[in-house]
Amino acid sequence: EAQVTQNPRYLITVTGKKLTVTCSQNMNHEYMSWYRQDPGLGLRQIYYSMNVEVTDKGDVPEGYKVSRKEKRNFPLILESPSPNQTSLYFCASSKQGSLDTQYFGPGTRLTVL
Amino acid sequence: AQKITQTQPGMFVQEKEAVTLDCTYDTSDQSYGLFWYKQPSSGEMIFLIYQGSYDEQNATEGRYSLNFQKARKSANLVISASQLGDSAMYFCAMREGNTGKLIFGQGTTLQVKP
């Protein structure tokens, strides 16, 4: 089944404790992206990747890191999480970085205490 | 700057009736893509339908159709024969060509009444 998977789905952590949210797709998509969704602010792009080893900042990259060593994986790293990073995070992928449909993972609900 | 506007924060529809969710957009690009996503209370983001700016026909996917009026810059979603499972938040989005970023509207909450 073609899909985007994220782990963990739910996470409660404390300020400053490094964490990684994994994202994997099995559709051989070139383009991958991370969004966060917050009430009143909608969905905002954090980082994106047009292909392996190519990543770039989105609208809200502060406090996040990403890497794209393999085509299928695009982990989101929070080196020192803070409470303002409490959010619902989505990973998405598409064939290419132009106008193709982006398919979303199931989301990760992160709470930073 | 590109922008998506959804002016209906919430809507009700009777089961089995049709409903239209409004979306207007603003862009100076000639080539762009418009999307609708559904977000049920469980939180996942489900792709529903896509319309390309050069597509001459309105997109349809089962009970979903997109009423695309390019001159008016509108891309309304029409759901026919509403079902209880259609109750969810619906987002209109536009794909930015340079970065591939999706720009989302604020969403419309749809409640289907039995």
pLDDT digits (tens, 9 = 90+) for A30-82: 999 999 999 988 899 999 999 999 999 999 999 999 999 999 999 999 999 99
Residues with Cβ within 8 Å of B66's Cβ and at least 6 positions away in sequence, in order, are: B34, B36, B49, B51, B58, B59, B60, B75, B76, B77, B78
Are A104 and B44 within 8 A, CB to CB?
A: yes
Q: What is the pLDDT of residues B45-75, one digit of tens each?
A: 999 999 999 998 999 999 999 999 999 999 9
Bridge partners (DSSP) listed for residue B76 = B67
What's the pLDDT at B96?
83
**In this complex, do A92 and B102 lie within 8 Å of one another by their Cβ atoms?**
yes
User: Which residues partner with A31 through β-bridges?
Assistant: A94
Interface test with A, best of B61, B101, B103, B104 (most A CBs within 10 A): B101
Which chain A residues touch B if contact means CB-CB below 8 Å? 31, 33, 35, 42-43, 45, 48, 50, 56, 58-59, 88, 90, 92, 94, 96-104, 106-107, 109
